[in-house]
Chain A
Amino acid sequence: MIRVSGLRKHFGNTEILKGIDFEVPPQTVLGVIGASGSGKSTLLRCLNGLETINGGTIECDDVRLEASLSHADYRRRVKDLRLKVGTVFQHFYLFPHLSVIGNIIEAPVHVLHTPKKTAETEAYELLESVGLRQAARRYPGSLSGGEQQRVAIARALAMHPALLLLDEPTSALDPRRMNSLRALLRTFVDRGHTMIIISHSMGFLAGVSDNILFMEGGVAVEFGPAEQVLNSPQDARTKDFLLTADSAD
């Protein structure tokens, strides 16, 4: 269970997030939509602790990150939060000096101190489920974009996160690959994972999300079931955005 309340973030005098509230129930997918500069990427970076929050709280299972914590407590809490939250970056950021299997077992072995054999066994299972078992010994430089993305998903899931964040997972995919990614993500949800996905593709999000959050100017404008937000939005700003997004899609 993920709960964000009153989340604020500013860079200097510029307020990027002006008090965001939402919840992601377990085993569901939240799709985040909004124009560039609406604050959705910053929201994601707050959720995995890459940005320091200036106000509000982020709760993920039993970890509660508060802006009001002392510096030392905050740092400890961010560490805990990062263990709960996995991230698949838009550009994946696979470790080029490690093989596919090396990328996946790196954190379980060195952060969780899982025995290497156990970590490898799990890694092969994950690779199996993303359809890349045969690529285990290859290096990221020799993989296609889609393959790299699936390795990045496997790498994040190997840490057993309570929440998986995906930043623009569709930006480099053609429609056919988009469909297989959607199917893949749904199987992980069925197995118990919870996700937040940022995407510009309404078609992709419609098929994968349970709930949708629409952001504009650092404010959560509309939040509700995917069907409802995408098909009959309540707020005029959401309507406008969806109209322009549809014509672009």
Chain B
Amino acid sequence: MWTAGKAQERVLRWGADPSGGAPYVFTDPANPDRYIGYEKEMVDALAQAMGRRAEFVPSDWETLVPSLQRRSFDVIVNGLEPTGDRAQQILFSKAYYIFQLQLTVHRDDTRIKSLDDCKDRVVGTLGNTAASRILQQQGIPFRTYADPVGAYRDLELRRIDAVVMDVPAEAFYARANPSLKPAGPPFTRGLYVIGLRKDDLALKAEIDVAIDKIIFDGTLEMILKKWGLWNEAQAEFQAPIRAGTQSTKVEEYTTTNATFNWSEALWRLTRAAAVTVLIALGAMVIAVVLGLPLAVGQWKGPPWLRAFCTLYVEFFRGTPVLVQLLFLYFGLPVVGIAMPGWLTALVGLGLNYAAYESQVYRASLEAIPNGQWEAAYSLGMGPMLAFRRIILPQAFRIALPPMTNDFVSLFKDTSVAFAISVWELATAYRELANASGQFLLLGVAVSAFYLAMSLPMAHLARLLERRLRDRATERVVEPEVATA
């Protein structure tokens, strides 16, 4: 469908991640219908040089390469680094920009002067970037983020010790922030290139010519200056092209490579699975414990309590858990509660599932015939005793199958924690698969991990259900020895 027609010839469809994407490409704060950024302006210039019309396809950084391959767009222009692993999957244009990395720390930090001081610290960066690879190679513990905003935000809250980011992003997001400061000068020099599909050689030739043209005629310099990104490195890089010598010495620049091997991938998946289990079990405990007072409050409580419980349930059921987690993670620190990511996910999912569990409990409690209450009362039991000894155990039996169901889905819902940079299974899958291109094999491995966690639980619940059911219908008559 995308490939048909001559009309498409005149369009240059380019993909990039605009969320937290300043100054590359991002939503114009003054006009949210519009995208702006230096790469946006550069692509417009390139398209013009090629006699095409640029069309922006908003996408997601982590999945740019697979999206390109499945023809969602024709080129990637998003500060892409020509790494060895990407070279196996896609084609690169000539370089158009020289990036450097900048280490940023909290204003009050006196310990960290350079990357060498970060060996025992946690450094934040974007996933699957030159920065993350350098950190990985140097054995520095790091956390990956989906966008620079989250990383710098966590640095401000001191959830992490430092952030490494490409200079353009650092310049835009961190330099003006009074609670942050740069640690040391920018380091390494790498290239930004445009990514194309392997077989798109004609388009590559067209793009390369266009890049030379906008460098040669000073258009790119003008754009970079406008965005405050022009520096010595750019001048050195552009000089030979503008002198007409045409030789870009790529070897002079650093390229990082994703190191991928299966044993390491499995080890990382195992750790991610452990985090997933921790979050799921913790959330479960909160949901089970908190669900009961919610259910009872909504069922038998005085009007104000009933209203509160209903409000709670409707709020947590009626809004996406993703939004709730983002609120807890980024919103609560405003009032001084800054929990680490895994704890936020644990508490958030717990609060969310408590709403669902309360409804399961309520339905189960209401399913117990009134006669059970009356029988208990007429034996002299008070309401609390009757509830605890007579009603609750019977309701539990009814609640067990839907509870099992909820908890299997809770295991899977832990994957939303990727939004707040928790290294759980789904995050691990995204990052490892993007770094390696092994979507299929890693997908099978990750699914196996999820099943290995949820199947035993489902089995356990079935066993318990069967025991409770058998007990109600068993006809075995045990000979009883007199105790008198």
Is the interface on chain B under 10, 10 to 19, 20 to 34, or 35 or more residues?
A: 20 to 34
Minimal beta-carbon separation of B295 from chain A (angstroms): 19
Residues in A whose Cβ lies below 8 Å from that of B382: 79
Stretch of B28-36, B79-87, B386-394, B454-462 lying at the A interface: B386-394
Q: How far is the CA of A120 from the CA of B471 in the complex (A)?
A: 20
Q: Does B116 contact A (CB under 8 A)?
A: no
Residues in A whose Cβ lies below 8 Å from that of B484: 121, 124-125
Minimal beta-carbon separation of A97 from chain B (angstroms): 5
Is the interface on chain A under 10, 10 to 19, 20 to 34, or 35 or more residues?
A: 35 or more
Minimal beta-carbon separation of A144 from chain B (angstroms): 11
Q: How far is the CA of A218 from the CA of B75 in the complex (A)?
A: 89
Residues in B whose Cβ lies below 8 Å from that of A141: 472-473
Known: A82-B380, A141-B472. A97 touches B394 (CB 8 A): yes
Stretch of A9-17, A33-41, A132-140 lying at the B interface: A132-140
Q: Which residues of chain A from 78 to 92 have any CB-CB distance to chain B below 8 Å in the complex? A: 79, 82-83, 85-87, 89, 91
Cβ–Cβ contact A93 & B375, under 8 A: yes
B465-484 contact mask (Cβ, 8 Å, vs A): 1 or 0: 00010011111111110111
Known: A48-B378, A82-B380, A89-B371. A120 touches B483 (CB 8 A): yes
Minimal beta-carbon separation of B329 from chain A (angstroms): 42
Cβ–Cβ contact B390 & A111, under 8 A: no
Q: Does A95 contact B (CB under 8 A)?
A: yes
Question: For chains A and B in complex, what number of residue pairs have CB atoms within 8 angstroms?
Answer: 94
Residues in A whose Cβ lies below 8 Å from that of B390: 95, 106
Minimal beta-carbon separation of A247 from chain B (angstroms): 32
Cβ–Cβ contact B371 & A124, under 8 A: no
Q: Does A176 contact B (CB under 8 A)?
A: no
Q: Chain A: which residue is nearest B470 at the CB level?
A: A139
Cβ–Cβ contact B379 & A111, under 8 A: yes
Cβ–Cβ contact B369 & A93, under 8 A: yes
Q: How far is the CA of A97 from the CA of B394 in the complex (A)?
A: 6
Cβ–Cβ contact A159 & B380, under 8 A: yes
Minimal beta-carbon separation of A52 from chain B (angstroms): 13
Minimal beta-carbon separation of A1 from chain B (angstroms): 20
Cβ–Cβ contact B378 & A111, under 8 A: no
Q: How far is the CA of A134 from the CA of B374 in the complex (A)?
A: 28
Q: How far is the CA of A243 from the CA of B390 in the complex (A)?
A: 44
A207-226 contact mask (Cβ, 8 Å, vs B): 1 or 0: 00000000000000000000
Minimal beta-carbon separation of B479 from chain A (angstroms): 7
Q: How far is the CA of A182 from the CA of B381 in the complex (A)?
A: 29
Q: How far is the CA of A117 from the CA of B369 in the complex (A)?
A: 31
Q: Does B327 contact A (CB under 8 A)?
A: no
Known: A93-B374, A141-B473. A117 touches B483 (CB 8 A): yes
Q: Which residues of chain B from 283 to 321 have any CB-CB distance to chain A below 8 Å in the complex? A: none
Minimal beta-carbon separation of A106 from chain B (angstroms): 7
Q: Chain B: which residue is nearest A152 at the CB level?
A: B375
Minimal beta-carbon separation of B470 from chain A (angstroms): 9
A101-119 contact mask (Cβ, 8 Å, vs B): 1 or 0: 0000011001110000100
- List the 7 closest A-B pairs by CB distance, nearest first: A93-B375, A107-B379, A141-B472, A93-B371, A87-B378, A111-B380, A137-B478
B→A interface (CB under 8 Å): 369, 371-372, 374-382, 385, 389-390, 393-394, 397, 468, 471-480, 482-484
